[in-house]
């Protein structure tokens, strides 16, 4: 991996490989998270995915990707701790595997297409095209609204709202319907202009590439120096002085959803983050976990149950889908399983199997261009690099005592329970 500064605040990362027969280009715009423009930035990923000055309709964009030998062009919005990201991805056959004439340089065409879509959007009279804007804003509103239809996602969103102090972290990465409805076409242009001129930009190119050629192509883009600096992306908040539990009833459900949030706020560079990865997998983050094996399989108290630890925020969440009659018993057992880990009541064979599963999952990611590129973006953002072998060794070295000691720092912060309206 080679990192090149194109402009101040604009970095190009080259990841040459002959392992895959694809060329992958990703452009990431990173800014401090702000509740007022979550939805606007999210809407940009919708509008700029389907139109530009050169390709004013979704059909025109699709036709061009077909000309690029069936390329896949995607946009995404991502949140990591205190940062918000608008990301563009293009994947196409590696130019080395495609016969090109002198006037059909696929590499050059790919970078020109990315420039057209990102830096030359469909803007008319100081605002985005009205028809495209209206259609895509409704699509965004529909997507945010759909969270309520998936009851587990809905419950997690409610848990997030009562867990975090930062309003921007209480909301989904897409923002809220309330904010989305307030966006105007001219206002969206201001958000876009601010993003293009001020966001830190990281460009990752992965495939069978020549570094000099890629660098020259990127330098043709209208990139400028930027003064913004993103502080540490990691978010940490003080432990709650009061535990909060919210119960909500809904008429259109026949089973309950139980969610809990815990705090496990290690410092970003604390080497115990590897212990936390192992702890989470042992607690509820894998099919070998205590929550899955004991709460779901042995006690049959949940249809589904898992845990997730987020190093970017220091929070761990548990979510279970279950019968409303089993909520109280499942809740108690979830706490008991945590207590058992804190007491070191698990054997070496279980821990070894957990660590082997974690390592295998990690190594399998090396066979995916998207995973490799996501890892590259993460390394740039966190300014932290570690070799594959160092990562594997760190996980392998986690002991029973390490996991038990860290588990004692896990503190329950909030609980959200969703139950049928007919329940007592």
- Residue 291 DSSP one-character state: I
> Looking at the domain assignment, is residue 260 inside a domain?
yes
Task: Report how far apart the first and last C-alpha atoms of the chain are (Å, whole number).
Answer: 58
Look at residue 226 and tell me if it is in a domain. no
Separation between Cα atoms, residue 403 and residue 351, nearest integer Å:
9
CA atoms within 13 Å, Cβ hemisphere of 335? 11
Same domain as 253, residue 188 = no
Torsion of CA 88, 92, 96, 98, to 10 degrees: -150
Q: Where are the alpha helices (DSSP H) in 260-347?
A: 273-283, 290, 327-342
The pLDDT of 172-189, averaged and rounded, is: 95
Same domain as 131, residue 196: yes
Measure the CA dihedral 50/54/57/59, to 10°.
-90
Question: In this structure, is residue 167 part of a structural domain?
Answer: yes
Residue 102 confidence class, pLDDT cut points 50, 70, 90? very low
In this structure, the answer to whether residues 142 and 43 fall within a common structural domain is: yes
Q: What is the CATH number of the domain that holds 265?
A: 3.30.830.10
Q: Which domain holds residue 157?
A: 2-218
Tell me, yes or no, whether 229 lies in a domain.
no
Non-local CB neighbours of 261 within 8 Å, separated by 6+ positions: 159, 160, 163, 315, 316, 317, 318, 412, 413, 414, 415
Of the residues 218, 235, 261, the one at which a domain ends = 218
* pLDDT > 90? residue 422: no
Exposed/middle/buried for residue 282 (C-beta within 10 Å: 0-12, 13-18, 19+): buried
Over 80: is that where the pLDDT of 296 sits? yes
Please say if the pLDDT value at position 424 is more than 80: no
Q: Are residues 124 and 167 in the same domain?
A: yes
Whether residues 259 and 368 fall in one domain: yes
Residue 226: name the closest of 397, 81, 19, 30 by CA: 30
Say if CB 97 and CB 21 are below 8 A apart. yes
CA nearest neighbour of 130 among 40, 38, 56, 49: 56
Same domain? For 67 and 131 the reply is yes
User: What's the average model confidence in pLDDT over 135-159?
Assistant: 95
pLDDT band at 250 (very low <50, low <70, confident <90, very high): very high
| pLDDT greater than 90 at residue 242 | no
- Using pLDDT thresholds of 50, 70 and 90, give the confidence band for residue 230: low
Asked if residue 189 lies in contact with residue 128, where contact means CB atoms within 8 angstroms, the answer is yes
Per-residue confidence (pLDDT) for residue 100, from 0 to 100: 58
Residue 234 lies in a domain: no
Q: Is residue 239 part of a domain?
A: no
> In this structure, are 30 and 77 located in the same domain?
yes
Of 218, 233, 268, the domain-final residue: 218
Tell me how many domains the chain contains. Answer: 2
């Amino acid at each position: 991996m080679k990192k090149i500064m194109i402009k101040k605040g604009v970095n190009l990362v080259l990841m040459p490989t002959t392992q895959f027969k694809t060329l992958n280009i990703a452009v990431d715009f990173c800014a401090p998270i702000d509740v007022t423009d979550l939805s606007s930035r999210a809407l940009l990923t919708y509008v700029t995915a389907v139109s530009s000055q050169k390709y004013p309709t979704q059909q025109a964009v699709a036709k061009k990707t077909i000309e690029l030998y069936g390329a896949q062009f995607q946009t995404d919005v991502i949140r990591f701790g205190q940062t918000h990201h608008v990301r563009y991805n293009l994947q196409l056959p590696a130019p080395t595997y495609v016969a090109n004439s002198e006037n059909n340089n696929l590499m050059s065409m790919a970078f020109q297409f990315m420039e057209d879509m990102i830096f030359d959007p469909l803007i008319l009279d100081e605002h985005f095209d009205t028809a495209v804007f209206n259609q895509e804003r409704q699509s965004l509103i529909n997507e945010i609204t759909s969270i309520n239809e998936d009851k587990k996602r809905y419950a997690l969103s409610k848990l997030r709202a009562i867990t975090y102090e930062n309003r921007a972290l209480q909301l989904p990465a897409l923002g809220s319907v309330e904010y989305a409805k307030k966006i105007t076409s001219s206002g969206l242009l201001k958000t876009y202009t601010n993003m293009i001129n001020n966001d830190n930009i990281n460009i990752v190119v992965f495939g069978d590439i020549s570094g000099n050629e890629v660098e020259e192509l990127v330098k043709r883009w209208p990139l400028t120096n930027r003064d913004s600096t993103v502080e540490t992306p990691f978010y940490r908040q003080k432990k709650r002085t009061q535990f909060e539990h919210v119960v909500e009833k809904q008429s259109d459900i026949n089973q309950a959803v139980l969610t809990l949030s815990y705090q496990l706020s290690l410092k970003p560079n604390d080497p115990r983050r590897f212990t936390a990865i192992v702890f989470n997998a042992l607690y509820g983050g894998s099919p070998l976990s205590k929550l899955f094996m004991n709460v779901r399989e042995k006690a049959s108290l949940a249809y589904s149950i898992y845990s997730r630890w987020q190093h970017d925020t220091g929070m761990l969440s548990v979510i279970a889908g279950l019968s409303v009659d089993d909520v109280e018993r499942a809740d108690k057992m979830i706490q008991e399983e945590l207590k058992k880990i804190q007491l070191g009541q698990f054997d070496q064979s279980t821990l070894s199997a957990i660590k082997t599963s974690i390592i295998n999952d990690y190594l399998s990611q090396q066979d995916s261009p998207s995973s490799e590129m996501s890892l590259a973006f993460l390394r740039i953002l966190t300014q932290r690099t570690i070799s594959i072998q160092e990562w594997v060794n760190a996980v392998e070295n986690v002991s029973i005592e390490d996991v038990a000691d860290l588990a004692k720092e896990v503190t329950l912060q909030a609980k959200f329970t969703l139950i049928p309206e007919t329940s007592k």
